C-alpha cells in the first residue's frame, strides 16, 4: 500500500503534545471510557465544515456526544434498499443501540453544501447535476427545501435553516425514531449557529421559526 504516507510533522507534534498533557492528566478517564464503552446522552448531526466545532460549542468532554458529520448536516428519508447509507446507519446505531435521549441537527452560516444546492437548483452548477456527482445527488435531499424558501430575501440563510427542518422531518420517517419519539424516550432538536458571531438559534416546533438561545 505504497500510497499510504506518514503523518505530516505538525500533526505528529500536536499528537505528542496531547498525549503528554490532556491524556496524561485524564488517563484514568480515558481507560474507563475504553473499558466501559460509550454512553452518550445525545447524537449530534452536523456539517463536515471544519469551522463547526461541535464539542467546543457545548464544552463537551469525550464520551458525551455521538457525532455524525456530513455535507450540509442532512438526513435522508428512510430507505432500506440494501445500498450504503452512512448517515442512516449512524442514526440507527445511536437510537437503537446507544439509546441516546436526544438527536440534535446542527446547521450553520455560510454553508458551502447548502450554497451548492442553491446554485444547482438555480442552474448555476451544471456539474452538480451530473449523475456522477456524489455531492449533487446528496444535495437532492434538500431540493424540497429549496422550493419551500424560494423567494426569500436571503436565500442562502433561509436554505441553511430549512436544511435543519428537512433533516428533522426526514428523521421522523425512520420507524425506530418515530417510535422512540412517540414513547417519550427520544427528543429531536434543530439548531443553527452563526460562525462569525458565535450565535446559536433553535427551531421552535410551534412556530416553525428559529429563535436565539
**Which stretches of the chain are assigned E, i.e. beta strand?**
42-47, 65-70, 102-108, 187-194, 199-203, 210-212
Q: Is 27 annotated as a binding residue?
A: no
Q: Is 108 annotated as a binding residue?
A: yes
- pLDDT(153) > 90: yes
pTM reported for the whole predicted model: 0.96
**Domain annotation for the chain: domains and CATH numbers:** 1-37 (no CATH), 38-212 (3.40.1050.10)
Alpha carbon of residue 173 to chain centroid: 17
- pLDDT(176) > 90: yes
Q: Return the bridge partners of 103, or none.
A: 43, 188
| pLDDT grade for 145, boundaries at 50, 70 and 90 | very high
Separation between Cα atoms, residue 36 and residue 110, nearest integer Å: 39
- pLDDT(82) > 90: no
In 3-state terms, the chain is what percent helix, strand and coil (to 5)?
A: 50, 15, 35
- pLDDT(12) > 90: yes
Percent of the chain exceeding pLDDT 70 equals: 100
pLDDT digits 0-9 by tens, 104-116: 999 999 999 999 9
Closest CA to 167 of 126, 108, 100: 108
Q: Is 49 annotated as a binding residue?
A: yes
Q: Is 111 annotated as a binding residue?
A: yes
What is the predicted pLDDT for the residue at 124?
97
Phi-psi region of 89 (alpha: psi -120 to 50; beta: other; left: phi over 0): alpha
Amino acid at each position: 500500500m505504497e500510497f499510504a504516507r506518514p503523518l505530516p510533522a505538525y500533526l505528529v507534534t500536536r499528537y505528542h503534545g496531547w498525549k503528554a498533557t490532556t491524556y496524561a492528566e485524564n488517563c484514568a478517564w480515558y481507560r474507563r471510557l475504553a473499558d466501559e464503552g460509550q454512553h452518550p446522552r445525545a447524537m449530534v448531526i452536523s456539517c463536515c465544515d471544519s469551522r463547526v466545532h461541535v464539542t467546543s460549542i457545548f464544552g463537551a468532554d469525550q464520551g458525551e456526544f455521538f457525532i455524525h458529520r456530513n455535507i450540509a448536516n442532512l438526513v435522508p428519508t428512510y430507505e432500506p434498499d440494501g445500498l450504503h447509507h452512512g448517515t442512516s446507519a449512524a442514526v440507527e446505531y445511536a437510537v437503537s443501540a446507544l439509546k441516546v435521549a436526544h438527536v440534535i441537527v446542527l446547521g450553520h452560516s455560510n454553508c458551502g453544501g447548502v450554497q451548492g444546492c442553491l446554485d444547482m437548483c438555480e442552474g448555476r452548477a451544471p456539474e452538480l447535476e451530473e449523475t456522477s456527482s456524489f455531492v449533487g445527488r446528496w444535495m437532492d435531499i434538500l431540493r424540497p427545501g429549496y422550493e419551500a424558501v424560494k423567494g426569500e430575501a436571503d436565500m442562502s440563510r433561509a436554505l441553511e435553516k430549512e436544511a435543519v427542518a428537512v433533516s428533522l422531518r426526514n428523521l421522523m420517517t425512520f420507524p425506530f425514531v418515530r417510535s422512540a419519539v412517540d414513547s417519550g424516550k427520544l427528543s429531536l432538536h434543530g439548531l443553527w449557529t452563526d460562525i462569525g458571531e458565535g450565535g446559536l438559534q433553535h427551531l421552535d416546533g410551534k412556530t416553525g421559526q428559529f429563535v436565539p438561545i
